[in-house]
């Protein structure tokens, strides 16, 4: 079992907030993280949205506006290069709701926790591209109902496309985790599934994640150094 790119064909890469940190997008946990400034229970659960939609929509309006001013960094660019040139199966499973992988040029990207730049109509179930505010309860472009919410996965909701993710993990001979604390399931459990099925596992993170013991190899440092060094 090897984490060397020359020895593998099918790769799953899980990314988290740490890969976008050097682009200036806040992470969630740790010093300065979003959950230090906002209580999860107030802004990132369906119950919070039912209780105080304005607070939740403001929180997401602020973050939706912020990501549009940020740029991909060297780590996003390195993964885009890998994606473009990789002949085998490759899937970037991102927990991030920003679009920096796509803006760096990556194509094989799956957003398991949704996307800031989509609005989801809970009346007609259609997702529409969305860049502006949601707090004034605009009408759904599809059905006209004022039932739009951010298209993100809150605690207690099912992450997107889990079947597709597990299919890719089953085929993978290398599983790489980049910039995630390993605190949130089911994403945090993917390394164990990959490992149980025989894949080599590599972690690239600023500090050991909660699941560090499950990785064959851990490299510590900023993603903008570690990811290009791994890919190139
Ligand atoms: C750098 C760096 C640099 C910094 N370079 N690195 C008990 C046990 C197991 C599970 C549960 C449980 N109790 C509840 C659950 C389930 C729950 C859960 O996991 N809770 C845990 C907190 C315990 N999970 C869920 O509810 C999920 N759904 C689910 O399980 O459905 C099943 C189900 C549903 C219904 C019925 C039946 C079953 C849903 C989880 C949704 C998560 N949503 C969020 C918000 C998304 C929208 C938004 O953006 O607001 O997703 S929470 C937040 O955490 C966000 C992230 O994607 C996610 C993960 O965070 P991430 O990316 O790891 O960021 P950080 O900040 O934690 O870490 C950053 C890392 O980067 C750090 O390690 C740094 O060191 C590093 N770093 N700078 C490299 N420059």
Please report, for the domain that includes residue 192, its CATH number: 3.40.50.1220
- Same domain, yes or no: 182 and 91: yes
**Of 92, 125, 152, at which residue does a domain stop?**
152
Q: Ligand 1 in contact with 48 (CB < 6 A)?
A: no
pLDDT at 92: 99
Same domain, residue pair 125 and 30: yes
Query: How far is 145 from 153, CA to CA, in rounded Å?
Result: 21
* 174 & 224 share domain: yes
* 85 and 104 belong to one structural domain: yes
Out of 105, 134, 152, a domain closes at 152
* 14 and 32 housed in the same domain: no
Give the atom of ligand 1 at the shortest distance from the alpha carbon of 29: 66
Domain CATH code at residue 126: 3.30.1600.10
Contacts of 229 (CB under 8 A, 6+ apart): none
- Per the CB < 8 A criterion, the answer to whether 84 and 105 are in contact is yes
Q: Do 202 and 98 share a structural domain?
A: yes
Distance in angstroms (rounded) separating the CA atoms of residues 179 and 205: 5
CA 132 to chain centre: 21
What pLDDT is stored for residue 1 in this prediction?
Answer: 66
User: Whole-number mean pLDDT of the chain?
Assistant: 97
* Measured distance CA(7)–CA(1) in Å, rounded: 9
User: What is the reported pLDDT for 2?
Assistant: 81
Distance between CA atoms of residues 41 and 48, nearest Å: 6
One domain for residues 19 and 31:
no
Q: What is the pLDDT of residue 203?
A: 98
Given a contact cutoff of 8 angstroms between Cβ atoms, the answer to whether 95 and 182 are in contact is no
Question: Is pLDDT above 90 for 125?
Answer: yes
Residue 158 CA: nearest ligand 1 atom is 31
Beta carbons within 10 angstroms of residue 163's beta carbon: 7
Q: Is 14 in the pocket of ligand 1 (CB under 6 A)?
A: no
CA of 7 to the centre of ligand 1 (A): 31
Domain identity same for 231 and 126: no
Cα-to-centroid distance, 87 and ligand 1 (Å): 31
| Nearest atom in ligand 1 to 60's CA | 50
| pLDDT single digits (tens) 141-151 | 999 999 999 99
Atom of ligand 1 minimally distant from the CA of 97: 49
Name the active-site residue from 101, 111, 113, 116: 113
Q: Indicate if 147 and 60 belong to the same structural domain.
A: yes
State the pLDDT at residue 212: 97
Query: What is the 207 CA–ligand 1 centroid distance (Å)?
Result: 16
Is the pLDDT higher at 31 or at 179?
A: 179
For this structure, is 38 an active site residue?
Answer: no
Q: How far is the CA of 61 from the centre of ligand 1 (A)?
A: 20
pLDDT (mean) for 186-196: 98
Write the CA distances from 19 to 68, 206, 211, integer angstroms. Answer: 16, 10, 17
Q: Quick one: 223 and 166 in the same domain?
A: yes
The residue behind tokens 């001979």 is 173
Q: Are residues 171 and 227 in the same domain?
A: yes
Closest by CA to 92, choosing from 213, 179, 2, is 179
Tokens 């980049």 -> residue: 178
Nearest CA to ligand 1 atom 38: 158
211 touches ligand 1 (CB under 6 Å): no
The proportion of the chain whose per-residue pLDDT surpasses 70, expressed as a percent, equals 100
The residue whose CA has the least distance to atom 62 of ligand 1 is: 16
What pLDDT digit, counting tens, does each position of 30-68 carry?
888 999 999 999 999 999 999 999 999 999 999 999 999
Question: In whole angstroms, what is the distance from residue 186 CA to residue 73 CA?
Answer: 26
In this prediction, residues 183-190 reach a mean pLDDT of: 98
Give the count of domains, the chain: 2
Asked if 51 and 106 sit in the same domain, the reply is no
Question: Which domain does 123 fall in, by range?
Answer: 26-69+116-152
Q: In what order do the strands lie in the sheet with 217-220?
A: 109-111, 90-94, 11-15, 174-178, 200-205, 217-220
- What confidence score (pLDDT) does residue 30 get? 86
pLDDT at 186 over 90: yes
Is the per-residue pLDDT at 99 higher than 90? yes
Ligand 1 centroid vs 139 CA: distance in angstroms? 30
């Amino acid at each position: 079992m090897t984490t060397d790119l020359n020895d593998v064909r099918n790769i799953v890469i899980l990314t988290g907030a740490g890969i976008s940190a050097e682009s200036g997008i806040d992470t969630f946990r740790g010093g300065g993280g979003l959950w230090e400034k906002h209580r999860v229970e107030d802004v990132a659960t369906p119950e919070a949205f039912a209780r105080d939609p304005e607070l939740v929509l403001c929180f997401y309006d602020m973050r939706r506006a912020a990501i549009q001013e940020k740029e991909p960094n060297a780590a996003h660019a390195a993964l885009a290069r890998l994606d473009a040139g990789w002949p085998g199966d490759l899937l970037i499973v991102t927990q991030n709701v920003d679009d920096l992988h796509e803006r760096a040029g990556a194509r094989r990207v799956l957003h398991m926790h949704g996307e800031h730049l989509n609005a989801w109509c809970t009346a007609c179930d259609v997702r529409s591209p969305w860049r502006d505010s949601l707090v004034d309860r605009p009408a759904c472009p599809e059905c006209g109902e004022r039932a739009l919410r951010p298209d993100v996965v809150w605690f207690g909701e099912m992450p997107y496309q889990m079947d597709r993710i597990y299919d890719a993990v089953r085929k993978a001979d290398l599983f790489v985790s980049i910039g995630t604390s390993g605190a949130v399931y089911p994403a945090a459990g993917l390394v164990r599934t990959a490992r149980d099925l025989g894949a080599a596992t590599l972690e690239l993170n600023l500090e050991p994640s909660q699941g560090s013991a499950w990785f064959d190899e851990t490299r510590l440092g900023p993603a903008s150094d570690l990811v290009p060094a791994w890919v190139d």
